[in-house]
Every structure is written in structure tokens, then in C-alpha cells.
Copies of this chain bind each other. A is one copy, B any other.
Amino acid sequence: METIEQFLESKNIRVTAMRLLIYKFLAENQVAVTLSDIENAFEKADRTTLYRTIKTFEENDIVHQIDDGTGITKYALCEKGCNCEIETDLHLHFHCNNCNETICLTEHKIPQIKVPDGFVSENVNLVVKGICDKCSGQ
């Protein structure tokens, strides 16, 4: 069982208190979070530090960015076995129009999309909007 410390070191990222806290925060949240969400969770920390921490994570394929169409960038931990380095994030994202939460549907891979002749598809962003299970359920 790999600790977070070991995991970060394996990515050649220095272990700091802040990074551990933010990593744990992301791990606790099953939904994608905004920078403001992180900011609210760590009011003592500076916004820039949080921003740069998440960028460091992103550059090292620890988190992936999600553009769910709200205009605010969201972030979520990559799955364990994900190969962000090689291929881009292939699962789809769901944005709830009711509670405004965005979640990774990591089980749901994006289908192969046909593009016209002459076009080369490199990656695909697929966001489904609607009502999430928590909001639709009773």
C-alpha cells in the first residue's frame, strides 16, 4: 500500500504540508472541485499557492482539468491506472444542472467519434448535462 508521500515522490514532486492537504482534499471529494472550493477549504492558505499546487498536480498527471461549460475550471484526481501521459482523459463528465456538481464517470469511456476525411482526432471532450442521481432520486 503506497502512501501519499510515496506517491508524490514517485512523481518527483516534493512532499509539503500544503500538497498533502490538497491531495487529501481531492481524494475525499468524489466530485470535481474548483479553485474556489479549495480556497474555501483552506482559508489560511494563499490562493496562489493552491493554484500552483493544483497546476503542479496537473502537470504531473495527478489531477485532470475539467471544462464542464460553467466557465469555471474544475479539477479531479486521475484514476489510479489512468494513462494521462499517453492518452488524454477518455471518460465522460456529468454536470448536474440542479446541484451544479460535476463528476467523473470514469466507468463510461467516450465512444469512438467519426470525423470527416482530412480531420485528425486527437482527443475528445464530452460533457453530459442533466440531473445527477442524488438530485433525481427520491
Contact = CB atoms under 8 A, between A and B. Distances in A.
Contacts of A117: 133
B92 A118 contact: no
Interface residues of A, number: 33
Copies in the complex: 2
Interface in A90-138: 92, 94, 97, 105, 107-108, 111, 113-133, 136-137
Contacts of A133: 116-119
A69 interface: yes
B126 A119 contact: no
A67 interface: yes
23 contacts: A67-B67, A67-B71, A108-B114, A108-B115, A111-B111, A117-B133, A118-B133, A118-B137, A119-B131, A119-B133, A119-B136, A120-B131, A120-B136, A122-B130, A122-B131, A123-B128, A123-B129, A123-B130, A124-B126, A124-B128, A124-B129, A125-B126, A125-B127
